Amino acid sequence: MNLTHTSATHDTIRAVQWHGDYLRLLDQRLLPAEEQWIDCRDTDAVTHAIKDLAVRGAPAIGIAAAWGVVLAAKRGQPLDHALAQLRAARPTAVNLMWALDRMKSRIAAGADAAALEREAQVIQEEDLAANHHMGELGAALIAPGSGVMTHCNTGSLATSGYGTALGVIRAGVAAGRIAQVYAGETRPWQQGARLTMWELVRDGIPAKLIADSAASHLMTSGAVKWVIVGADRIAANGDTANKIGTYQLAIAARYHGVKFMVVAPSSTVDMATASGEDIDIELRDPAELLSVAGRRTVVEGAEAWNPVFDVTPASLIDAIVTERGVIEQPSVERMRAVFDA
């Protein structure tokens, strides 16, 4: 167990790696059982990796998509087509559209493949810097020795490194503000059980896995002072789309007097979307619910409904932490003060 926690020792995983003429991705479908890498040599391979969740997490899919555009440019393929197919890979995380819009404007300005490569590199580096900054800002809100709970995976695997909500947790542990982490399993894809626990155990952070359905019971004990989550899209009024189950955690947190923190870079903020009602929520294959680890667990003939994100209203959020600053009790006015400035 690593007992000397610092920000630096908690920052060892890089799941999205550019290797000059191909993109190497740590295959998140196989963790923690296997650490296998996928080498994407064209835009199709990157698009499939995003659709199939080999790479996932809002910032990471934006970064991967930027590299997907670079691959098209290097191969002399039509860039409009590459942009369109990457954009359609997943609907909810606005980081995907944000990164592609940024590449598109560089293309419109006449950027060649080398310039697009530099832009993708900057997108990736800015994300890492934002995460370290948000880590410090978010950790400062937490009283020393607190227990916290998180949902899904928002760590190095979901970003260029360090993480958003998990970045706050890393910084909070390093500063002695967080003494215990609880991670929800995050059914059905188990990002919490498979990915967050892998990251936390690897970094020697005191963490306990709980069933998603144990969250309210845990909160009655007083062991959790903050729920800390990431985001896939934050609307102009502060409503936040994140992994399915986040909304019920926010309701339970408010009921029990537990604070609720959303941590996301400005690339997750979508001021063009007025409220959560306007966010496109991804529905995935019901088969993801009917099996566990590829083994059917539900009777043949059963149907399932599998929305993979939900919207937490701004009124249930105590703080949105971005690299531009902390927005407490988010509202249209407070969001505008930071993001329309």
152 binds ligand MRU (CB under 6 A): yes
Restricting to residues 225-254, which ones interact with ligand MRU according to CB under 6 A? 230-232, 242-243
Taking residues 26 to 55 in sequence order and writing x for each that binds ligand MRU by CB under 6 A, - otherwise, the string is: ------------------------------
Report the nearest approach of ligand MRU to the CB of residue 269 (Å). Answer: 13
State both tokens at 21: 């003429």
Binding-site string for ligand MRU from residue 72 to residue 111, where x marks contact by CB under 6 A and - marks none = ---------------------x------------------
Of the residues 158, 181, 218, 335, which one makes contact with ligand MRU according to CB under 6 A:
158
> Backbone dihedral region of 58: left (phi > 0), alpha (psi from -120 to 50 degrees) or beta?
alpha
Among the listed residues 191, 240, 273, 312, the single contact to ligand MRU using CB under 6 A: 191
Query: CA-CA distance, 37 to 42, in Å (whole number)?
Result: 15
Residue nearest to ligand MRU (CB): 230
Among 56, 106, 170, 194, binds ligand MRU (CB under 6 A): 56
Total number of residues that touch ligand MRU (CB under 6 A): 17
- How far, in Å, CA of 145 to CA of 139, rounded? 11
Instruction: Kindly write out the interface string for residues 121-140 of this chain, putting x where it contacts ligand MRU by CB under 6 A and - elsewhere.
Output: --------------------
Classify strands 207-210 and 178-184 as parallel, antiparallel or unpaired: parallel
Contacts of 275 (CB under 8 A, 6+ apart): 235, 236, 237, 239
Structure tokens at 27: 């295959």
Q: Does 196 bind ligand MRU (CB under 6 A)?
A: no
Is 212 a known active-site residue? no
Of the candidates 161, 220, 227, the one whose C-alpha atom is nearest the C-alpha of residue 192 is: 227
Catalytic-labelled residue, pool 11, 232, 239, 310 = 232
Strand residues in the chain grouped as ranges (E): 16-18, 23-26, 37-40, 146-150, 178-184, 207-210, 226-229, 233-235, 240-243, 259-263, 269-270, 291-292, 295-296, 309-312, 319-322, 325-328
Closest CA to 166 of 219, 203, 124, 213: 203
| For ligand MRU, the closer CB: 57 or 147 | 57
Binding site for ligand MRU (CB under 6 A): 56-59, 93, 152, 154, 158-159, 164, 191, 230-232, 242-243, 308
Instruction: Return the active site residues.
Output: 232
